[in-house]
Amino acid sequence: MIKQTAGRDALGANIDAEAFAATLMFPLGAPNEAYAQYFSGRSWLAPLTAQQVPTSNVTFEPGCRNNWHIHHADKGGGQMLICVGGRGYYQAWGEEAIEMKPGDVVNIPAGVKHWHGAAPDSWFAHLAFSVPGENCTNEWLEPVTDEQYGQLS
Ligand code: MN
């Protein structure tokens, strides 16, 4: 059974998130309400820059992950992730999940269906770089099911 923190209220989750963020060199930011519909669990978003290579720090509570999604582009594009705290996963469709620990880098080409998020028992934070390209759009798909998530080692 996956350990979840769904029983905690928003205030409790925020205190935990701030305590986790205090161990990192990047800000926690605000509750990720704009994209909450595409996440299972609570996440926080801290935009770091919108120039050159738009970059944000994204923090996930334990068990939180985003839906399957695709970063589309006609040329270039895609996403690069660098773990800056905790432990989490990246998984491309049809492939084994890759564990992410601080310092680990994942390069996600445009057009690849994937998800990223926290391990069941750990907070997780990664920088997300939007690689510049032509006609970049994000397509949000179905949630990662508990069965898919439960296969993580
Ligand atoms: Mn992504």
Supply the pTM of this predicted model.
Answer: 0.91
User: How far does the centroid of ligand 1 lie from the alpha carbon of residue 112, in Å?
Assistant: 9
125-62-22 Cα angle (round to 5): 45
User: How far does the centroid of ligand 1 lie from the alpha carbon of residue 85, in Å?
Assistant: 17
User: How far does the centroid of ligand 1 lie from the alpha carbon of residue 138, in Å?
Assistant: 8
Q: In this predicted structure, what is the pLDDT of residue 3? A: 45
Give Cα 43 distance to the centre of its chain: 8
C-alpha distances in Å from residue 9, one per residue of 28, 42, 77, 81, 140: 18, 11, 37, 29, 26
User: How far does the centroid of ligand 1 lie from the alpha carbon of residue 13, in Å?
Assistant: 23
| pLDDT averaged per 10 residues in sequence order, the chain, 153 residues | 52 86 96 95 97 98 97 98 98 97 98 98 97 98 95 82
* Three-state DSSP state, 44: strand
> How many CA atoms are closer than 13 Å to the CA of 14, on its beta-carbon side?
7
Q: Name 144's Cβ contacts closer than 8 Å, sequence gap at least 6.
A: 40, 65, 66, 67, 68, 91, 115, 117
Q: In this predicted structure, what is the pLDDT of residue 12? A: 73
User: How far does the centroid of ligand 1 lie from the alpha carbon of residue 36, in Å?
Assistant: 14
Radius of gyration of the chain from its Cα atoms, rounded to whole angstroms:
15
**Which residues are found with C-beta within 5 Å of the ion, ligand 1?**
79
DSSP per residue, 47-106: EEE-SSS-EEEEEE-TT-EEPPEEEE-SEE--EEEEEEEE-EEEEETTS--EEE-TT-EE
